[in-house]
Amino acid sequence: MMKKIGFIGLGIMGKPMAKNLLKAGYPLIVYDINNVPVKELVESGAQEGKSSKEVAAQSEVIITMLPNSPEVKEVVLGKNGVLGGAKPGTILIDMSSIAPLASKQISEKAKEKGVVMLDAPVSGGEPKAIDGTLAIMVGGPKEIFEEAKEILAVMGAAVTHVGEIGSGNTTKLANQIIVALNIAAMAEAMVLATKAGVDPEKVYNAIRGGLAGSAVLDAKMPMVLDGNFKPGFRIELHIKDMMNALETAHELCVPVPLSSQILEIMKALKCDGKEKDDHCGIVRFYEGVAKIAVRKERISA
């Protein structure tokens, strides 16, 4: 018999992930402070929860998908939170991207209530959340991972156990550094090529099959060429991840100079009102300085 799942956090990622669990046949109870996606999930067959505590009280497995560490702490540890309703033996899977230290702190509090936790952040953005092909990086007890793996596999094509609690979010920070710097490298190169008078679409097609090719290039360059900055993953969320990466790096005395630079570029875009754009909008920082736009039909920035 399928475990009943509570899903808390139905944003740009959480909503399609919850829908995939419904499609797979899992009984689902959902909660979000925004009632619009809740109603949409209820229309698809989910049960509505009135609070995180109520969701937890009726669930065997609880999934949270929230913006950052403070929100996860509030939902799990706060008044009317998950631990106020969860029964001993409940599995808590936090799929948010938060600081590894926060995952460890929340896990310790959960243990006191007999609740075991996995941190399982994801990569792939909204498109992969919709089609259920996310990459999921999981930290926590291996035996609990094995118990929850079937559920996670509904939402992800690659589900990997990477170590103890906090390891999932450490892996996600590494992922986010690589993605951010890939986008920045793409942006620098393509603005240079475009300013030099070479068609950026032809440059993209010429290099994508070589060593410079990457999943990031193939996902983001077509968006840039179309001038499509509709968010699959917003700049403001990538700023949050990079700040967590820098905080963790500083705690461990690890130098991350390139990460610091791309964070400043993203913060400059936020100051320019572009924080809701997709993170491929990093290119617009370079375009603004060079006064050229990387598009299929070149125009002034």
Phi, psi of 10 (to 5 degrees): -115, 50
3-state SS, one letter per residue, for 59-95: CCEEEECCCCHHHHHHHHHCCCCHHHHCCCCCEEEEC
Nearest to 59 by CA among 27, 106, 19, 98: 27
Among candidate residues 15, 53, 172, 274, the one labeled active-site is 172
Please name the residues in contact with 73: beta carbons below 8 A apart, sequence gap of 6 or more.
102, 105, 106
Helix axes 142-155, 14-23, angle to 10 degrees: 90
Cβ atoms of 5 and 25 within 8 Å: the answer is: no
Q: Indicate if 195 belongs to the active site.
A: no
DSSP conformation letters of 197-257: T--HHHHHHHHTTSTT--HHHHHHHHHHHTT----SSBHHHHHHHHHHHHHHHHHHT---H
Return d(Cα 51, Cα 83) in angstroms, integer: 12
Q: How does 32-44 read in b/e, with b if 16+ C-beta sit within 10 Å? A: beeeebbeebeee
What does the block give as tokens for 19? 């829908």
Which residues are tagged catalytic?
172
